[in-house]
Structure 1
Amino acid sequence: MPVLRVKICGITSVADAQLAAAAGADAIGLVFYPPSPRNVTIAGAREILAALPPFVTRVGLFVNPEAAWVEEVLATCALDLLQFHGDEEPGFCARFQRPYIKVLRLTGEMDLRPWRDRYATAQGLLLDKRDAQVFGGSGHSFAWWRLPQDLCMPLILAGGLHPDNVAAAVNLARPYAVDVSSGVEISPGRKDRGKIERFIARARGAGEA
């Protein structure tokens, strides 16, 4: 199995961004969605992004945004990748001249080929638990299953992951990457060093097994 990638999402401070990078995270996620407790302002995001070392992918998360809002963020924030967590159409996701990933909100096993075909311009699909009341990351797990290895599109597993279950999730699903936010926190938006370090170590240890 290829080396597993790890994204730490919901970063709200310079200290937590640097903590994630030092622990070996491949990517960090910034939430540009005001209803979320992990929302960041443009000014806060710029400060966080400026403090990151090279080779850490900077991801901006949006939920059913107006195009003008995405463009305003991109005008001043050096994001490498966009993550669309709502009901955005493929044409909307692809219009910003940035690579993007599309989130699918699921309850369990399903055929991913129609979604791959619909979002053919995406860099990958992120699988999270469907929650009618929550956008931008549910924090709840769903019924994992062995993901198809011949989809020809990276699949990212999220939803309720934490240090104590990530190895089992990786061993079963065999995703390209895992994405965690609340599972490595002390409180919403505040990360825990030990949880991040254990999460990354256990995720990669499972992926290399």
Structure 2
Amino acid sequence: MPHRTRIKICGLTREADVEHAAAAGADAVGFVLYAASPRAVTPQRAGALARRLPPFVTPVLLFVNATAAEVDAALQAVPHAVLQFHGDETPAQCAALAQGRAWLRAARVPLGAGAAGFDLLEYAQRFAAATALVVDAQVPGYGGGGHAFDWNALPWSHPRLHAAARVVLSGGLTPANVTDGVRLVRPWGVDVSSGVEAAKGVKDAALVSAFIAAVRRADAELAAPPFVTAP
């Protein structure tokens, strides 16, 4: 069966954006539970937004160095959510905070030449208990900065990576570059925030639709049989 890249639209703050992302074909939407973020929402707001989702579209709650009480409050508001840890949490802390639920771990890759020094294989093995590894750019504010790291610097096809983790490509993705990202990385999923925004926390419906369409084009291209010229 051809691979279908999963799509997460993150940093949602408005009902209209939640509804459009779901209608356009997103598999998941993310709510930022980190007060310092310009896209932050409260647990109560995340719960109200999540209730606008249809069945089979997954709410994801993003935390940065949150306390157990903060995670518990968010889970009471969105009890069926997947958790995403984007701070300095250890594998043991992620597992404890998730309380048996599915969780994602962000790997923050340095920009520029620093990407080559990031040991993605070791990171994936450390966080092998995660449902997926969100490979993002290391920017101030823990994501959403609109910067892409050097995709060519990491060993995407290494068998140890595939054995340890499902990879979600993130960081600086846009409708213009996500097709190339899917072709190169062959990720399990992609995660976008600033690349589909009109302003921080305000999604542009046309960009969301264009992003999802670009991912599906990449999937179709990868699924197509190679063209062979006649001898």
Normalised to the residue count of structure 1, the TM-score between the two structures is 0.94
Quote the offset at 1:207 in angstroms. 2.3
State how far apart, in whole Å, the 1-side matches of 2:144 and 2:88 are: 14
Structure 2 counterpart SS, 1:208: helix
Q: Which amino acid is the alignment partner of residue 121 of structure 1?
A: A
Q: Secondary structure at the match of 2:49?
A: helix
Alignment gaps of 5+ in structure 1:
none
**SS of residue in 2 equivalent to 1:45:** helix
CA contact (8 A) 1:3 1:207 kept: yes
Match of 2:14 in 1: 13
Structure 2 CA distance for aligned equivalents of residues 34 and 203 of structure 1: 31
Tell me what 1:134 maps to: 141
Given the alignment, which residue of 147, 157, 177 partners 2:156?
Answer: 147
Q: Where does the alignment leave 5 or more consecutive residues of structure 2 unmatched?
A: 222-231
| Conserved 8 A contact 2:106-2:136 | yes
| CA-to-aligned-CA distance 1:27-61 (integer Å, 9 cap, x gap) | 00000001111101122111111111000011000
Of residues 138-147 and 65-74 in structure 1, the stretch that sits farther from structure 2 once superposed is 138-147
Q: What is the one-letter code of the residue matched to 2:176?
A: D
Question: Is the counterpart of residue 32 in structure 1 residue 39 in structure 2?
Answer: no
- Given that residues 11 and 17 in structure 1 are in contact (C-alpha distance below 8 angstroms), is that contact kept between their aligned partners in structure 2? yes
Distance in 1 between residues matched to 2:178 and 2:120, nearest whole Å: 22
C-alpha distance in 2 between matches for 1:111 and 1:174? 19
Supply the distance in 1 between the matched residues of 2:120 and 2:38 (Cα, whole angstroms). 30
Matched letter for residue 212 of structure 2: I
Deviation at 1:138, TM superposition (A): 2.9
After TM superposition, the structure 1 stretch with the greater mean CA deviation from structure 2, 112-121 or 181-190, is 112-121
Contact residue 30 and residue 40 of structure 1 kept, 8 A? yes
Work out whether residues 58 and 78 of structure 1, in 8 Å CA contact, stay in contact via their aligned partners in 2.
no
**Contact in 2 for aligned 1:60/1:79 (Cα 8 Å):** no
Residues 1:78 and 1:149: Cα distance change in structure 2 (over 3 Å): farther
Aligned partner letter, 2:157: P
Native 8 Å contact 2:143 2:171 kept in 1? no
Map Cα deviations across residues 1-48 of structure 1 (whole Å, 9 max, x no partner). Answer: 511111000010111100000000000000000111110112211111
Normalized per residue, the structure richer in helix is 2
Give me the whole-angstrom Cα distance separating, in 2, the residues matched to 1:138 and 1:126: 15
Counterpart for residue 204 of structure 1: 216
1:123 aligns with 2:92: no
Aligned to 1:103: 106
Assess if the C-alpha contact under 8 Å between 2:75 and 2:81 holds in 1: no
Report which of the two structures shows the higher radius of gyration computed on alpha carbons: 2
Query: Residues 28 and 59 of structure 1 are in contact (CA less than 8 Å); yes or no, is this contact kept in structure 2?
Result: yes
Q: Normalization by structure 2: what TM-score? A: 0.86
CA distance in 2, matches of 1:149, 1:48: 38
Q: Residue 170 of structure 1: CA displacement?
A: 1.2
Confirm or deny that 1:186 pairs with 2:186: no
Letter in 2 for 1:68: A
Measured in 2, the distance between the counterparts of 1:5 and 1:36 equals: 25
The Cα of 1:208 is off from its aligned counterpart by 2.5
Equivalent pairs, count: 208
Cα shift at 1:149: 5.9
